[in-house]
């Protein structure tokens, strides 16, 4: 009985971890997606073709979600498909992107919105990378200390050999 409960919670945690990893992978790609939307909206307002063209260069998780969204857009309402795309992932950053896409569908000029959004997402990405980098020094410190010791021993060995050679010539 206890084992079945433990396995149940382990499987629930595994499913949550997969969804979380997928969401993070897509969120890492959102700054590039917003920048691409900014450039594409300057030339065209066809959201479907923009999503289809971005899908070719997207990461695995984003590509899969865009495939589902594009198929949903072709078979039904564009706004409904974008809303379901947002709901599937539950990401606040993706919600802002979807909100901008829906406003473009309604006729707004989304270029400035996506420029600002791309800037904000880029700042979030830099903050996320700084957080990751802050966790790394503890791992790097032990290797840098080992390298320092190797350099010190190398210099001491060279100095010792030179001193021994010089001492031999003096006596």
The proportion of the chain whose per-residue pLDDT surpasses 70, expressed as a percent, equals: 98
Q: What's the confidence (pLDDT) of residue 123?
A: 92
Residues in CB range of 80: below 8 A, 6 or more apart: 72
With a cut of 80, say whether residue 78 has pLDDT above it: yes
Q: What's the confidence (pLDDT) of residue 152?
A: 93
Specify the DSSP class assigned to residue 76. Answer: S
pLDDT single digits (tens) 81-92: 889 988 888 888
Specify the DSSP class assigned to residue 99. Answer: H
pLDDT single digits (tens) 137-157: 777 777 888 898 999 999 999
pLDDT single digits (tens) 10-38: 777 887 888 888 888 888 888 998 999 89
Q: What's the confidence (pLDDT) of residue 160?
A: 92
Q: Is 56 helix (H, G, I), strand (E, B) or coil?
A: coil
CA distance 80 to 47: 13
Contact 30, 118 (CB under 8 A): no
Average confidence (pLDDT) over 40-53: 88
Q: What's the confidence (pLDDT) of residue 171?
A: 66
Q: How confident is the model at residue 166 (pLDDT cuts 50, 70, 90)?
A: confident
Task: Tell me the pLDDT of the chain averaged across its residues.
Answer: 86
Q: What's the confidence (pLDDT) of residue 153?
A: 94
Q: What's the confidence (pLDDT) of residue 5?
A: 74
Burial class (CB in 10 A: 0-12, 13-18, 19+), 162: exposed
Contact 44, 80 (CB under 8 A): no
Domain ranges across the chain? 2-135, 136-171
Q: What's the confidence (pLDDT) of residue 9?
A: 74
- Residue 123 CB coordination number (10 Å): 11
Residues in CB range of 131: below 8 A, 6 or more apart: none
């Amino acid at each position: 009985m206890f084992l079945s409960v433990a396995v149940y919670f382990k499987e629930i945690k595994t499913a949550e971890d997969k969804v979380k990893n997928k969401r993070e992978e897509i969120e890492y790609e959102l700054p590039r997606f917003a920048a691409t939307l900014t450039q594409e909206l300057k030339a065209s307002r066809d959201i479907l073709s923009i999503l289809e063209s971005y899908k070719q260069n997207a990461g695995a998780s984003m590509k899969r979600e865009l495939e589902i969204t594009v198929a949903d857009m072709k078979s039904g309402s564009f706004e409904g498909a974008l809303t379901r795309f947002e709901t599937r992932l539950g990401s606040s950053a993706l919600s802002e992107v979807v909100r901008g896409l829906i406003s473009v569908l309604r006729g707004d000029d989304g270029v400035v919105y996506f420029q600002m959004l791309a800037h904000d997402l880029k700042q979030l990405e830099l903050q996320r990378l700084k957080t990751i980098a802050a966790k790394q020094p503890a791992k790097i410190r032990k290797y840098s200390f080992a390298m320092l010791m190797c350099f010190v021993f190398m210099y001491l060995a060279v100095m010792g050999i030179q001193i021994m050679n010089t001492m031999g010539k003096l006596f």
